[in-house]
Amino acid sequence: MSKIRLVIPAAALTAVLFLAGPFPVLAAPNYNAIPKLQEIKDHPAAPDFTLPDPGGKKISLKDYRGKVVFLNFWATWCEYCREELPAMERLYREFKGKGLEVVAVNIKDKREDALAFIKKNKLSFPVVMDPEGEIGLLYGAYATPTVYLIDRNGTVLARMWGPAGWYSPAARKLISALLEQ
């Protein structure tokens, strides 16, 4: 049985690639599009943690490897948190099927207040309870709201202390760019 060897001249391969059109260029995330969002230049690993959700199920950050994680530290007594969590819900609903996971860590809050807020606002993303604020301190969430953006490999990309318009066109464009990486 004879073997057939296919040889494609370099010029022919170049012509095929040229006619196929340009390769898509992935846009680098523009962290400056969100005022006060700071890129973390050394990209450390996000500290793992395990906390219970409102039903008592244990959830770990590592459970979301392979997804871009929007990690939010919040409390019901924080006015800005109450304002921006519904925007995060809209962001989550738009991008959850594309690889985004929002994880909201409720810190130093009354359990019944947090549960009432979650129910009233129909939050569908994972919420975990940190009543002593230990994980908040681990992440340096000394004020609320605090957000960390974490890539699919568990690397911290950016952080922000304070509120933002998380369903603004700029925020949605940033999340899209992170998901395309």
Higher local confidence (pLDDT), 17 or 99: 99
Q: Give the pLDDT confidence score for residue 28 in this predicted structure.
A: 79
Which residue numbers are catalytic? 81
Domain at 28-180, CATH homologous superfamily: Glutaredoxin (3.40.30.10)
108 contacts 132 by C-beta, under 8 angstroms: yes
pTM of the shown model: 0.85
pLDDT at site 18: 45
Average pLDDT for residues 19-42, to the nearest whole number? 76
Q: Where are the domains of the chain?
A: 28-180
Average pLDDT over residues 137-141: 93
Residues 15, 46: Cα–Cα separation, whole Å: 45
**Average pLDDT, stretch 79-99?**
97
| pLDDT over threshold 70, residue 6 | no
